[in-house]
Structure 1
Amino acid sequence: MNLAMKISDHDVLLVIDVQNDFCTGGALAVPGGEKVVPAVNRIAQKFANVVLTQDWHPEDHVSFAPNHPGKQPFQTIELDYGIQVLWPTHCVKGTAGAEFHRDLDIARANLVVRKGFRRGIDSYSALFENDKRTPTGLLGYLRERELKTVFVTGLALDFCVRFSAEDARKAGFEVAVIEDACRGIDLGGTVAATHQSFRDLGISVVGLEAFL
């Protein structure tokens, strides 16, 4: 993609999980998570189509380490859909931690997609839950709106941003991740693995300067 982006009505900005629990002081803080907010707000001004995602878990969610006696956060378990990382309790629906960061310009959003609300399955991607079969509804929305290129921002680069970008690409969209508007967790090399996956799938990685 060209460094100077010309955004059209067929492009969509996907803003992943910019919520209090993923920012400094939150239950599952991504280092520097809140620093994406000014960049996201600035980029969003260029787009007619903006979609926000929101982690929205029940208290007894299967991905929460405290719901598995003897397990600690960031350990893994085997579920029927594969390996699941166990997380600290976070983004419980209706709590302050699940709210969008106060400085995020949510008024620009055309749609908010809540994910992870089913107790027995986690949902990193904005398009499918972690079984790779259960849809969130976003894919149908993108197709109905005849959107073609998905620009992805938000938290965390190596989990929910990565899975969302991969699923959008596999569904046939052009995809670009705006790295300046993302932050990663990096569990045992997950950021490096994310960049390799993007290269393998033909997902572009662009910087904020492309939108200035």
Structure 2
Amino acid sequence: MLTPATTALLVVDAQQGFTDLCPAELPVPGGSAIVPHVNALLALPFARVDATQDWHPPDHRSFLGQADNIYPPHCVMNTPGAEFLPGLHADRFSAIWRKGYDRDFEAYAVTAQHPGLGAFLSASGIKVVVVCGIATNICCFFAARDLRRAGFDVWLVEDASAGIDVPAAGLFQSKAKEEGLALGIRYCTVADVTSAMSGN
């Protein structure tokens, strides 16, 4: 059972640059398809709804040709790739936490660039954080991991998320889930959250 007054939703990087809407960036299979599932979560009575937004400078260290040389340029600030997905009910967002805006700092987890997020949520009376978005095993996972380590009950909604293996960075979906389960992260569906929120 989830108590709305103590449960928050965190929508991670639901942006065009991670979908086939921007094929030259970093499209994640199924990225565009999560919108109706995320919107189903956004319709639930969470105490607050936070979103993260990759907001990179054009020469971010993770980009090809830069220091880490891993990813194609993606979600560059003030470009279409950085915008939220069409049809996403972004009006429900209580706050938008931008990350990756420092050229020399890799910020998979919002908590890496905003270390006070956990304390902020705790001060708001939040005990449970439901996480969804892109990518399941990267930015979603690292945010979920850090929030779990901070003492929150964390639910990661798999059908409202999309993942991708990135061998060059050692990021694999199976490995992330295995680690997440060991930490006590609950992997679930939109239906699970809906049912728990309604007390059924």
TM-score under structure 1 length normalisation:
0.84
1:67 is the counterpart of 2:63: no
Q: How is 1:24-173 mapped onto 2 (pairs within 5 angstroms)?
A: 24-26=20-22, 27-46=25-44, 47-68=46-67, 77=68, 86-129=70-113, 135-173=114-152
Are the aligned partners of 1:113 and 1:138 in contact in 2 as well (CA < 8 Å)? Answer: no
Q: Kindly provide the CA deviation profile for residues 20-76 of structure 1, in whole angstroms up to 9, marking residues without a partner as x.
A: 0001132101001011110011111112311010000111111111335xxxxxxxx
Work out which of the residue numbers 4, 9, 15 in structure 2 matches 1:8.
4
- SS across alignment from 1:153: strand
Moved more, 9-18 or 187-196: 187-196
- How far the C-alpha of 1:136 sits from its partner, in A, is 4.8
Instruction: Determine the C-alpha separation between the residues in 1 that align with 2:185 and 2:66.
Output: 36
- How far the C-alpha of 1:157 sits from its partner, in A, is 0.6
- SS across alignment from 1:43: helix
Going from structure 1 to structure 2, the CA distance change for 1:112 and 1:136 (only over 3 Å counts) comes to farther
**Paired letter, 2:182:** D
TM-score under structure 2 length normalisation:
0.88
- How far the C-alpha of 1:10 sits from its partner, in A, is 0.8
Identity of aligned residues (%): 38
Considering fraction of residues, name the structure with more helix.
2
Are the aligned partners of 2:13 and 2:133 in contact in 1 as well (CA < 8 Å)? Answer: yes
Q: How is 1:175-194 mapped onto 2 (pairs within 5 angstroms)?
A: 175-188=154-167, 190-194=172-176
- How far the C-alpha of 1:198 sits from its partner, in A, is 1.2
- SS across alignment from 1:158: coil
C-alpha RMSD over aligned residues = 1.6
Task: Give structure 1 stretches of 5+ with no counterpart.
Answer: 69-76, 78-84, 130-134
Task: Give structure 2 stretches of 5+ with no counterpart.
Answer: 196-200
Are the aligned partners of 1:12 and 1:50 in contact in 2 as well (CA < 8 Å)? Answer: yes
Instruction: Determine the C-alpha separation between the residues in 1 that align with 2:122 and 2:147.
Output: 11
- SS across alignment from 1:30: coil
- SS across alignment from 1:18: coil
- How far the C-alpha of 1:7 sits from its partner, in A, is 3.9
Instruction: Determine the C-alpha separation between the residues in 2 that align with 1:115 and 1:136.
Output: 11
1:195 corresponding residue in structure 2: 177
Going from structure 1 to structure 2, the CA distance change for 1:161 and 1:187 (only over 3 Å counts) comes to same
